[in-house]
């Protein structure tokens, strides 16, 4: 069969979604929409897409589509996903899934009622090293999880002039912020590795609200969080501590340490080496490589490369009329959203919140 696809959004779609779609021989991308028609037209020309729009509703009304990728600012996820589902399409939606759990629940229930394939853009579940961690923990290789430590420190918002005025990632009303941008990935991986999260507490901070446009020097105010830290308790025991900062002047990237009763796992994005040790033994390199990294036209980095396997699974599920076997579904997106809402509530009320 030919899977007729379209994409809403022209930024990360250009980096990850469209190159991944191009690896699937039976996918025909027929249209792309973006808030700026010039952006949609430029990406359409680069990828040979016949139709470009600045109105995603018009695009959905103009084509019969099997698959829609929603790669917009978070505030548009729910309306775009619901419209695509109602028009008969299966959907891949970028993270974070929605503005809140109420929206996410509506999206999940609609997708289920219509029997659509649904995935969230948590592509790291398809990264070989992170899947290896999932299997090691599931097999009991390091025993029972006692605690997990994740640190992600970048310079993205460190310079007050690093972001343009109107930057949606810095706008809470648009669904921007560090918790959604990176915290959603961390929450999804924690659930993927260690099971459900039962309670959370934390802080959701805007440390550098006063900003200047990097070109014009215009003063503007960031309302979205640029720094987050939270503690999560797992329902089956153990806990995780996560620290995310985008306001450092020197970044250290992402590092993960998982401590079990019988061993330890370490992974850092600086070298993508997976180190594993059993109690009383030295660390062993158990790193795995992603064969999709060698495919032509795929951008560098685990985000772009991992999206190839995500897209392959979504397309296979559509072809075979089945549920996805791997990946974060809208059910996972909803659980992640509930946890994020809980972290925000915990910070507002200065307490632990059961999720």
The verdict on 188 and 318 lying in the same domain is no
The verdict on 73 and 91 lying in the same domain is yes
Handedness of CA 275, 277, 281, 286 (dihedral sign): negative
* CB-based contacts of 353, cutoff 8 Å, min separation 6: 199, 200, 201, 342, 343, 345, 346
Element (H, E) at 84: helix 77-86
Beta strands (DSSP E) in the chain are 3-8, 27-33, 51-53, 67-70, 90-93, 118-120, 145-153, 197-205, 210-212, 219-221, 227-234, 239-245, 253-260, 263-268, 273-278, 284-285, 353-354
Report pLDDT for 101. 98
Q: Which of 237, 262, 288 is the last residue of a domain?
A: 288
CATH number, domain at 19?
Answer: 3.40.50.720
Report pLDDT for 289. 96
The verdict on 138 and 20 lying in the same domain is no
List the one residue out of 148, 27, 19, 38 whose CA is nearest residue 89.
Answer: 27
Three-class secondary structure of residue 32 per DSSP: strand
The verdict on 320 and 259 lying in the same domain is no
pLDDT in tens, the chain (355 residues): 899 999 999 999 999 999 999 999 999 999 999 999 999 999 999 999 999 999 999 999 999 999 999 999 999 999 999 999 999 999 999 999 999 999 999 999 999 999 999 999 999 999 999 999 999 999 999 999 999 999 999 999 999 999 999 999 999 999 999 999 999 999 999 999 999 999 999 999 999 999 999 899 999 999 999 999 999 999 999 999 999 999 999 999 999 999 999 999 999 999 999 999 999 999 999 999 999 999 999 999 999 999 999 999 999 999 999 999 999 999 999 999 999 999 999 999 999 999 9
The verdict on 140 and 49 lying in the same domain is no
Number of domains within the chain: 2
Report pLDDT for 1. 84
Whether residue 340 lies inside any domain: the answer is no
Whether residue 270 lies inside any domain: the answer is yes
Q: Which of 288, 317, 341 is the last residue of a domain?
A: 288
Whether residue 240 lies inside any domain: the answer is yes
Cα separation, 162 vs 143, whole angstroms: 44
End-to-end CA distance of the chain: 42
The verdict on 147 and 85 lying in the same domain is no
Whether residue 336 lies inside any domain: the answer is no
The verdict on 21 and 117 lying in the same domain is yes
Whether residue 347 lies inside any domain: the answer is no
The verdict on 261 and 170 lying in the same domain is yes
Whether residue 250 lies inside any domain: the answer is yes
The verdict on 54 and 189 lying in the same domain is no
Cβ-in-10-Å burial (0-12, 13-18, 19+) of 215 comes to exposed
User: Interior CA angle at 213 toward 12 and 210, to 5°?
Assistant: 105
Report pLDDT for 214. 87
List the one residue out of 41, 8, 262 whose CA is nearest residue 139.
Answer: 262
List the one residue out of 149, 100, 133, 172 whose CA is nearest residue 333.
Answer: 100
Whether residue 341 lies inside any domain: the answer is no
Partners of 228 in beta bridges: 204, 244
Report pLDDT for 59. 98
Q: Which domain holds residue 104?
A: 3-124+305-329
The verdict on 160 and 26 lying in the same domain is no
CATH number, domain at 242?
Answer: 3.30.360.10
Whether residue 299 lies inside any domain: the answer is no
The verdict on 261 and 322 lying in the same domain is no
Contact 180, 333 (CB under 8 A): no
The verdict on 112 and 154 lying in the same domain is no
Report pLDDT for 225. 98
Report pLDDT for 304. 97
Contact 256, 149 (CB under 8 A): yes
């Amino acid at each position: 069969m030919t899977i007729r696809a379209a994409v809403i959004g022209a930024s990360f779609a250009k980096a990850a979604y469209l190159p991944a779609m191009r690896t699937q021989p039976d996918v025909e991308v027929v249209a792309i929409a973006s808030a700026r028609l010039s952006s949609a037209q430029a990406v359409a020309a680069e990828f040979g897409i016949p139709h470009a729009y600045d109105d995603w509703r018009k695009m959905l009304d103009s084509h019969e589509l099997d698959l829609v990728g929603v790669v917009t600012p978070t505030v548009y996820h729910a309306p775009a996903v619901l419209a695509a589902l109602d028009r008969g399409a299966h959907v891949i939606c970028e993270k974070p899934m929605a503005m809140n759990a109420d929206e996410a629940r509506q999206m999940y229930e609609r997708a289920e009622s219509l029997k659509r394939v649904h995935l969230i853009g948590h592509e790291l579940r398809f990264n070989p090293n992170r899947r290896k961690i999932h299997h090691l923990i599931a097999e009991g290789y390091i025993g029972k999880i006692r605690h997990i430590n994740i640190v992600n420190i970048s310079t993205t918002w460190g310079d007050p002039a690093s972001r343009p005025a109107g930057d949606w990632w810095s706008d809470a009303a648009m669904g921007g912020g560090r918790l959604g941008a990176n915290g959603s990935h961390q929450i999804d991986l924690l659930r993927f590795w260690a099971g459900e999260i039962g309670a959370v507490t934390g802080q959701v901070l805007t440390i550098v609200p006063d900003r200047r446009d990097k070109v014009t020097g215009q003063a503007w105010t960031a309302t979205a969080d640029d720094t987050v830290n939270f503690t999560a308790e797992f329902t089956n025991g153990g806990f995780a501590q996560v620290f995310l900062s985008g306001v450092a002047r020197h970044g250290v990237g992402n590092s993960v340490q998982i401590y079990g009763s019988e061993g330890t796992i370490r992974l850092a994005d600086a070298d993508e080496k997976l180190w594993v040790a059993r109690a009383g033994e030295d660390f062993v390199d158990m790193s795995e490589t992603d064969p999709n990294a060698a495919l032509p036209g795929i951008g560098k980095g685990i985000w772009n490369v991992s999206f190839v396997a995500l897209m392959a699974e979504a397309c296979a599920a559509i072809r075979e009329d089945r549920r996805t076997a791997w990946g974060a579904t809208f059910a996972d997106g909803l659980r992640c959203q509930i946890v994020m809402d809980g972290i925000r509530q915990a910070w507002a009320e200065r307490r632990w919140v059961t999720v």
